[in-house]
Structure 1
């Protein structure tokens, strides 16, 4: 009798133990879901496991629930077969910006080959170039259009921006020819410049090892004979045109402590002098209205 009672008691304890274990697991799972929804993942350098076509798509999907934070997300543009990490700026001018390029402190070398600029380089949490192939995939989704924002900061801390609607690039066969629409901003339209030969709109991308800059066999820029705009700009890659007034990928003059062209947006001036730029970024966002408010 006693033995039978002890066995029944043990079965009851085992059952309760299993129930407690199951409840504990459920609590842990619920806690993980709460942390995920609140975006309080303790591993702050790990990308959020949130998929969207681009950062605008992610913002639109999460906007009705809660504000998605700025950070690294995994995106897969519509019509592509692969996903990749991208930095989404969810704070700047309404959020939803996919960052294509960021210059901050000169820790990343932007003097790179064609392959580097095509595939991308740097650290998404700091300075980087997303890559021409990835940028092409984002910009060429069906039934979408994008605006480009150039945000600039001077050595003295002053800021300016340039925005272009209907921004897109062609594919690798054309060397990623760039197209921009209407300009709006405070930094000036450096992509089109002042003269016909300054105009970088509808120009292919160039690097020091793949030259598409209209300087064949040479051209004159600011009175200097130039054979390669990339070489003239310390082996940086850009949509050069003889060589133009914009180049956000030049050597970071502030940290390198050298007097060279550096990061260029030569239509941004004060007292008729070109502003020396400390930091810059390129961001794109789906266009739902002509310009952000």
Structure 2
């Protein structure tokens, strides 16, 4: 009986080893046939917003430190990277479902981490001119480690792949950090003028985007730049008049793209301008598709 038992155990171990070997062979064959490795130089050419990243800075991307890289292993957004164990804030390369590869700043520390930063404007820091044209706002500009606009086209492609929430972070004139959260956030395609779609508000900054005021409302408005006027003011182009592209109505209750001031109704004014504003998003957990954690 002992011999039979020993033989049976040995036979099972052999079968397990054989199965493991076959699985490994299959994996190697799969990787060899289905996945295409590329170098860091090749990576640079695949990045849709590589004009916002100096070629030498590719080596600083936190999640692509290996000599050979596989596009299929890149996360869809910063939240997906966070769920894979990435806890350090900085520049990451992501692979949204409907987009070329993108370099973004991931905030992995603020309120649970996993935030993909779309915009940052620190008035005390050297900035690009926010008085930019339609194409600049479409494809993005600035320094991803500093003041920048990720690009309306890339915002559209990012928010098309999943249901996102958004946080507008603002530091007021007293140095206090405030925020305005909207349960859902989407930027529609260029055929709609990159219209802004927001959900319900919460936070301590006040709702300057979805509530009606003398300047109208920003929710559902098309984007305007100095050379494309989509606002509802008849007499002038709000973007040209105020020096920054934005989702203007008549003209604004909030304006975060300006070299001179950051305005948020009830919090930041012409007399007490806020010092910093940023926009960041992450999946809101509703209507998530199968790509949300990939």
The question of a shared fold, defined as TM-score above 0.5 by the shorter chain, is answered with yes
Q: Tell me if the contact between 1:71 and 1:88 (Cα under 8 Å) persists in the aligned partners.
A: yes
Counterpart residue number, 2:159:
139
The residue that corresponds to 2:140 in the other structure is: 120
Gapped regions of structure 2 (runs ≥ 5): 1-56, 65-73, 287-294
Distance 2:167 2:105 in 1: 15
Q: Does 1:232 align with 2:241?
A: yes
Q: Could you tell me how far apart the structure 2 residues matched to 1:274 and 1:161 are? A: 20
Q: Among 177, 181, 188, which residue is 1:170 paired with?
A: 188
Q: Deviations over 1:143-178 (max 9, x none)?
A: x21111001112331221100011101101111000
Between the aligned partners of 1:44 and 1:85, the Cα distance in structure 2 is 9
Measure how far apart 1:200 and its partner are: 0.9
Does 2:168 correspond to 1:150?
A: yes
1:165-244 aligned at under 5 Å gives the runs 165-195=183-213, 197-216=215-234, 218=235, 227-234=236-243, 236-244=244-252
Question: Does the 8 Å contact 2:195/2:220 carry over to 1?
Answer: yes
Equivalent-residue separation in structure 2 for 1:136 and 1:197 (angstroms): 25
1:193 touches 1:267 (CA, 8 Å); kept in 2?
Answer: no
In structure 1, how many angstroms separate the alpha carbons of the residues matched to 2:90 and 2:59? Answer: 9
User: Are 1:263 and 2:262 counterparts?
Assistant: yes
- 1:267 is displaced (CA, Å) by 2.7
Q: Is the 8 A contact 2:169 2:278 kept in 1?
A: yes
2:131 maps to 111
> Offset at 1:196?
7.0
**Structure 2: distance between partners of 1:87 and 1:168:** 19
Moved more, 110-119 or 152-161: 152-161
- Give the 5 Å matches for 1:16-27: none
**What secondary structure, in the 3-state scheme, does the structure 1 residue paired with 2:60 have?**
coil
Residues 31-87 of structure 1: per-residue CA shift (max 9 Å, x gap) = xxxxxxxxxxxx89711235211111111222xxxx52101000110133x201010
Per-residue displacement from partner, 1:206-257 (whole Å, max 9, x unpaired)? 01100000113x2xxxxxxxx11112212x1000000120110012x3xxxx
Instruction: Please give the secondary structure, in 1, of the residue aligned with 2:118.
Output: strand
Question: Is the Cα contact below 8 Å between 1:53 and 1:75 reproduced in 2?
Answer: yes
Judge conservation of contact 1:268–1:274 (CA < 8 Å) in 2.
Answer: no
Match of 2:94 in 1: 75
TM-score (norm 1): 0.70
Shift of 1:268: 1.8
Number of residues of Structure 1 aligned to a counterpart in Structure 2: 219
Shift of 1:266: 1.4
Q: Return the index of the structure with the highest Cα Rg.
A: 1
Provide the C-alpha distance between the structure 2 equivalents of 1:170 and 1:87, rounded to a whole number of angstroms: 22
